Amino acid sequence: MSNETKTDGWFPVNLLDNLQEKIARLNRRAARLGLEPLELIVTDEREVMPVGEIQGWDGNTGLPCSHTIFHTCARVQVIGKAPKLHGWFFVARIEHTDNTNLLYSVPNETVPDEYWQAEAWCDHCQTTRRRNDTFVVRNEEGEYKQVGSSCIKDFLGHDIPLGFWRVFRDMADTDWLDKNCYPPTAREFGLEGILNLTAAVIHKFGWRSRQTAELECKEATSDTVSNYYFHPPTKEQNRVQVTDTDKEQAKAAHQWAAALTDEQTTGNNYLTNLRAIAQNGTVTDRSWGIGCSIIIAHKHEVERRLRAKLASQRQATCEWIGEVGQRIEMKVQCLLVKEMESQFGVTTLHKMVDEDGNEMVWFASGTHNNLNTNEWYKVKATVKNHDTFRDVRQTKINRVKVVEELGAV
Ligand SMILES: [Zn+2]
């Protein structure tokens, strides 16, 4: 019978460091006893696994609900030899319960059937007494012995096989999923529900980043979302309604972040994190804030695209007006009035559009306040030249004279 052991299983990514440390510590002790080390191989395979539930609140209804906790797990392998001490291999742990025994064996080892019924007997001290656990060991000749947990060190000369066994046990199955024996640092929450809630919170209160929140001494949006998620709503007026629009916005933002290309994320830590979170579909307590910001990052991206689209439309549709030197009469809307000072004195810049959306600028020397922003006028003006500004055709005019004030229309 070979005592070579190879086992694989799923292990929480956030806790891989702990496992690596545990195995390194075991290997250092094993080396002093002349035992072969365990080798841990972490593969690229990842899976998000639901592991439990936590009591929380439904931001939509204001009623208690439970949120699913996930762990992102990596597929890992442990390769090594079950350690042999004083001629004995560690085979299994027997958990003695009131009704029956539960057997947890090292991978590739089988436990003789009689141990399913065995009393908490110890072959070392030759007693039966109340014990929660006993251990089964085997020698090269296939002889089995049962030893109490307090005698295992005396019997084997060392308790290190227990450490090896625990690593194998952790790998052998996903027992840890049920037993909740891993610390909350590994817990993750479903991104979808959090994004829905974030969209609703932004809808109602606007977005406040952590930096802004600190400056204004107010609550950051991600903290508001967290409060809705974990704590009962205190005031009726502070509740949010997650609408279908919020859900659509959340879905679009999630899809956008998950589909970010390498070209977009290279050299940008923030977008790289955003994509990783979106693709994983969960956030941890630490990445909660970045997760929530997916909504606002997407909103900014949509606005940027819209501006670019409008700019390119204006490039295509804006035409020059009249002929250079021509005096024309037209209806215009004033979009901007801005005083500028230079070495030649004060100039007032006016930006205007006509009824077809064609752009005009008028640099009037001195201070002018006879055109108001957003209002329409019938004016007479002279075409000074045909120019372009940011690739958009723009007509420069001067000697502008208001014929009629038409109001905001
Ligand atoms: Zn004993």
Domain ranges of the chain: 4-82+177-186, 87-156, 189-314, 327-407
Q: How far apart are CA 259 and CA 273, in angstroms?
A: 13
Q: What's the CA-to-centroid distance between 152 and ligand 1, angstroms? A: 7
Residues with Cβ within 8 Å of 407's Cβ and at least 6 positions away in sequence, in order, are 375, 376
| Summary count for the chain: helices (H), strands (E) | 11, 17
Q: Ligand 1 centroid to 122 CA: how many Å?
A: 5
CA of 94 to the centre of ligand 1 (A): 14
Instruction: Determine the pLDDT at residue 3.
Output: 55
Q: Are 357 and 375 in contact (CB under 8 A)?
A: no
CA separation for the pair 130, 319 (Å, rounded): 95
Name the phi and psi angles at 242, rounded to 5: -85, 110
Instruction: Please tell me the predicted confidence (pLDDT) of residue 6.
Output: 67
Whole-number Cα distances in Å, 129 to 115, 117, 196, 276: 16, 15, 57, 54
Token reading at 295 = 């909504």
228 vs 201: CA distance, rounded Å: 9
CA of 125 to the centre of ligand 1 (A): 4
Give 132 Cα–ligand 1 centroid separation in angstroms: 13
CA of 140 to the centre of ligand 1 (A): 22
- Predicted local confidence at residue 181, as pLDDT: 47
Tell me how far the alpha carbon of residue 306 lies from the centroid of ligand 1, in angstroms: 77
Q: What is the pLDDT of residues 74-96, one digit of tens each?
A: 888 888 776 777 888 888 888 88
Residue 257: predicted pLDDT: 97
How many whole angstroms from 120 Cα to the centroid of ligand 1?
10
Distance 126 CA to ligand 1 centre (A): 6
Gap from CA of 148 to ligand 1 centroid (Å):
5
- 400 Cα: distance to centroid of ligand 1 (angstroms): 107
- CA-atom Rg of the chain in angstroms: 36
Q: How many angstroms is it from 143 CA to the middle of ligand 1?
A: 18
Who contacts 341 (Cβ-Cβ below 8 Å, separation ≥6)? 347
Question: Are the C-beta atoms of residues 197 and 228 closer than 8 Å to each other?
Answer: yes
DSSP structure string for 177-237: HHHT-S-GGG-EEEHHHHHHHHHHHHHHH----HHHHHHHTS--HHHHHHHHHHS----GG
* Below-50 pLDDT ranges, the chain: 1-2, 176-181
- For domain 327-407, which architecture applies? Beta Barrel (2.40)
134 CA → ligand 1 middle, Å: 9
Do 71 and 12 touch, CB atoms closer than 8 A?
yes
Whole-angstrom distance, CA of residue 5 vs CA of residue 291? 41
Q: What is the pLDDT of residues 213-247, one digit of tens each?
A: 999 889 999 999 998 888 876 666 667 888 899 99
